[in-house]
Amino acid sequence: MKEVIYRFAVETDWVEELARSHGGYMRGNFTIAPEDVFTGTHYVLQVSENVTVMLVDATYHQDVLYKPQNSTADFAGIYFNLTEGESVHIMDNVSKSVGRWNYNLAIVDGEFNTDYMIKSGSKCYSISLFVKKSILREYLSKTGVLNEVVNRVFDEEQNTLIHYAHMSSASWHLINEFRKNIPGSISFNLLLGGLVYNLLANCLEGIMKREIMISKVLPSDLTMILTSQSNLIKKQEGVFPGIAALAAEANMSETKYKNLYKKITGYTPNAFFLNNKLELARDLLSRGQYTVGELAEKLSFTSASHLSEQFKNYFKMSPKEYTASL
């Protein structure tokens, strides 16, 4: 296993260090790593004085443990991850995996350091944006959010910028379209810059749809919530364990647990659990092995009609309509 200690920033003076701690070197915008670490593209571009992008399209050939050590906090990281499979693991501070990353989009304060591991054999594709908080603040003000709220969002005493989510399909399509371009080709920097701004526009639209929750989050809180969520996913066929049990498991008061859960994931534990169940129901339906009745029983819905109703609520079509559309 390789340990990589690094830091990020909008200014790109860290790239050289990152290359070195991989045991590699820089060639223009590319970081070249030894072949037994990873092969593929690792590319950093400063798009403007406020935004830098890092593109990773690589296959890992050994486990790499990343330990970010950012001390300055004038930026936030926005991470888009299209890696497939169970490859990115969030670690707690004793380097024990607390579960894999279930999200493909994270917006996290630059100062907020979480260790993570990329497993050997993983094919990674990620786009990381490092954006100055000052410009994020400007954009957030434009959305009509009250100044007082904006001030609190960026007040480190009161709030931690942290937001795990699923990227919009628009972002997903943008990135997939972008993947057709060849790194280093003459138009590559222009198209990468274009991608960055389009992704930022999508993010801003996404944030506007979400309730803003102000609270402090510590790295240990994050690992707790993510662990709790992994456990919920393991129990997804059963009934909802209840907030009291979940909070006890996470060693928090119920209020703290509920607030943190919603702050980080955007959903209440209950809603997350139900949505996840419905996604699973859809997967199983598309494989055609179950009737709606059997599925309701398997997934612990009180009845087939209850499942149908919730399904329709979430996907805007009934299970029958969904199966017919396949």
Residues of this chain that bind other proteins (CB under 8 A): 48, 139, 142-144, 185-188, 190-191, 193-202, 204-205, 208
Polymer length of the chain = 326
Cβ nearer to other proteins, comparing 90 with 107: 107
Cβ nearer to other proteins, comparing 171 with 223: 171
Residue 178 beta carbon to other proteins: minimum distance, rounded to whole angstroms: 9
Helix (H) or strand (E) holding 106: strand 105-109
Residue 32 beta carbon to other proteins: minimum distance, rounded to whole angstroms: 25
Residue 194 beta carbon to other proteins: minimum distance, rounded to whole angstroms: 3
Structure tokens at 202: 């999508």
CB 15 within 8 A of CB 8: no
Q: Which residue has the tokens 């209950």?
A: 270
Residue 168 beta carbon to other proteins: minimum distance, rounded to whole angstroms: 12
Cβ nearer to other proteins, comparing 142 with 234: 142
Q: Helix, strand or coil for residue 212?
A: coil
Residue 18 beta carbon to other proteins: minimum distance, rounded to whole angstroms: 25
Q: Which residue has the tokens 């990353």?
A: 101
Q: What is the DSSP string of 119-149?
A: -TT-EEEEEEEEEEHHHHHHHHHHTT--HHH
Question: Comparing C-alpha atoms, which of 169, 178, 194, 185 is closest to residue 125?
Answer: 178
CB 137 within 8 A of CB 150: yes
Cβ nearer to other proteins, comparing 141 with 259: 141
Contacts of 248 (CB under 8 A, 6+ apart): none
Residue 45 beta carbon to other proteins: minimum distance, rounded to whole angstroms: 11
Contacts of 230 (CB under 8 A, 6+ apart): 98, 99, 100, 102
Residue 75 beta carbon to other proteins: minimum distance, rounded to whole angstroms: 17
Cβ nearer to other proteins, comparing 62 with 128: 128
Cβ nearer to other proteins, comparing 139 with 314: 139
Within 10 angstroms of residue 308's Cβ, the number of other Cβ atoms is 18
Cβ nearer to other proteins, comparing 71 with 185: 185
Helix (H) or strand (E) holding 277: helix 269-287
Contacts of 203 (CB under 8 A, 6+ apart): 78, 105, 107, 171
Structure tokens at 98: 């607390």
Cβ nearer to other proteins, comparing 46 with 270: 46
Residue 286 beta carbon to other proteins: minimum distance, rounded to whole angstroms: 29
